[in-house]
Chain A
Amino acid sequence: MMVDATGSPLPGPTAAADTQAALAASVDQTAVLLGIPVSAASRAGVIAAFTAYSDAAALLMAFPLPVEVEQAAVYTLGYAGDDR
């Protein structure tokens, strides 16, 4: 069995193929949902890019953030008449 740097088992060939198929399906379905046409010429490149984003997200989502940690994005109220 292959393991990653933390000792967790890496997916075998079948699981990896399943994951890739699921990512491709996700791209196809979300593109339909959002009304974004993905041409046949672009599809493989888009799936590859989405897979890279998915890998980044896996690293991020595995991080145990305390619930007290808020988003960094800051919303501030201005004053009446200040449209910024």
Chain B
Amino acid sequence: MTDEPDGVGAIAAAVRSGEATAVEVARAALARIAASNDALNCFTAVTGARALAEAAAIDAALAAGRNVGPLAGVPYAVKNLFAVNGMATVAGSRIDEDRTPPSRDASLVRRLRAAGAVLTGTANMDEYAMGYTTENTHYGPTRNPHDLKRMAGGSSGGSAAAVAAGLVPLALGSDTGGSITVPASLCGAFGLKPTFGRLSRAGTRLLAGSFDHVGPFTRTVRDLAAVYDALQGHDPDDPASVRREVEPVSPDLGQGISGLRIAVWDGGSETRATPEALAAVAHVVAALGAAHTVTLREAARARAAATIITGCEAANLHFSDLRARADDFDPLIRDRLLAASLMPAAWNVQAHRFRRWFRTQVLELFRSVDLILAPATPFSAPLIGQTKTVVDDTEVLTRRHIGAFSQPLSFLGFPVLAAPVARRGRMPLGVMIIAAPWRESLAFRAAAVAEAAQVLAAPIAQRGTKSQPIP
């Protein structure tokens, strides 16, 4: 191997053509992880032996003339709530270290393996995915690869940071209220939260089954499309998985946006963002020619409903541990989980009914537009441990306000492509490209246009070069 191929598509092409072997690619990824993980804390476990065995199997299959799949030799990481055969699925906890390890991989890990990808390890997260920062007390915070003093975002922070730092070109995360969108924005990676029910969650540790999604991070739109296409397909092992034909988006990437009606989300007073977050969106708006403005009414109430349902479902999943060993939870989530276990049923029922009402309102919006653009986060990465942030002259709670824009969309289950806006020399910020249910392809087409115009970009993070004043 001469020059190391970079990115999902380039690696798969190099491995298939014989320009590089899968084992060489895996060794290079493992070396990058070994060199950087002490500083970044993206990985909580590295699966070196498995990676080399999977890579050797790819090389052997190629030598035998067999089909090795579209992601041949692509190294990847998974958030540590995905089941990996023989490893405890810790989901950011110490409690689950004691549980019997699964005897098979999560469904999407099996699909990636079948597509030729190579698992290099499991990634850090907020305990049980109940946070937006990956400031995990047990495993330590994942650090933003652009500035080690700052948060990676969460809860899929280890996955997003590993991709943004160039340790691996692909990682999987999960999203209940913005846990793919938020770290994609703060770390500077592309992330896809697909339509609820599109990608299988079988074999993942749930936070709140009503909203849990899974999806990929990459550094280009084309790579994101290739991975998403490989992951699609109904899975009877996930009760939320929809029986729907695979709808590949890669063939549509070059179709452009002619005829698409693109609008900007006017959050009004319910959602506050910093001027730099609004400017980042305006940059994409100008590139895509977004001519409309839509108001997502009742976004704040949607967040309230999402918070209540998430709390109720999460507390129920952890009820026996809350009774028996509450002190073993991460202090950052323990009191919230305990409080959530005490909520009256009337709140939860009202929240579910509100979700139905809200869905109807937003579906109505999509009768007149095809895509909606909005900030992915209201600000760029705060300092690790920062509890308050000033936004629009108002002091807000940092950890809660990070999800101001993403949570209503995850609550709805609509597809969101989180895309990093090109901001040379500054901390990353992302834009959400929101489509109607099952119309991921439109979001991909718009992202491809903006990426080609160099308005979106995810260059490998140059560590520690983007320190800037706290917003």
Interface, chain A (partner B; CB < 8 A): 26-27, 30-31, 34-39, 42, 45-50, 52-53, 56-57, 59-61, 63, 65-66, 69-73, 84
Contact = CB atoms under 8 A, between A and B. Distances in A.
Contact of B352 (A26, A36, A45, A72): A72
Interface of B: 210, 236-237, 239, 298, 300-301, 303-305, 307-308, 311, 322-323, 326-327, 334-336, 338-344, 346-347, 349-357, 359
Contacts of B350: 57, 60-61, 63, 65
List 4 A-B pairs, minimum CB-CB distance, nearest first. A45-B335, A49-B339, A56-B304, A71-B352
A34 B342 contact: yes
A69 B350 CA distance: 10
Contacts of A38: 326, 338
Contacts of A84: 236-237, 239
Nearest to B352: A71
A39 B322 CA distance: 11
Contact of B308 (A47, A57, A65, A71): A57
Q: Is the interface of A mostly helix, strand, loop or mixed?
A: helix
Contacts of A63: 298, 301, 350, 354
Contacts of B307: 53, 56
* Residue of B298, B322, B359 most packed against chain A (CB within 10 A): B322
B334 A42 contact: yes
A66 B327 CA distance: 42
A57 B304 contact: yes
Given A37-B326, A47-B339, A63-B298, 17 more contacts: A34-B342, A36-B326, A36-B341, A38-B326, A38-B338, A49-B338, A50-B339, A50-B342, A56-B307, A57-B347, A59-B300, A60-B350, A61-B346, A70-B353, A72-B352, A72-B353, A84-B239
Given A37-B326, A63-B301, A71-B349, A30 B236 contact: no
A73 B354 contact: no
Nearest to A75: B239
* Residue of B298, B339, B357 most packed against chain A (CB within 10 A): B339
A77 B354 CA distance: 24
A31 B357 CA distance: 32
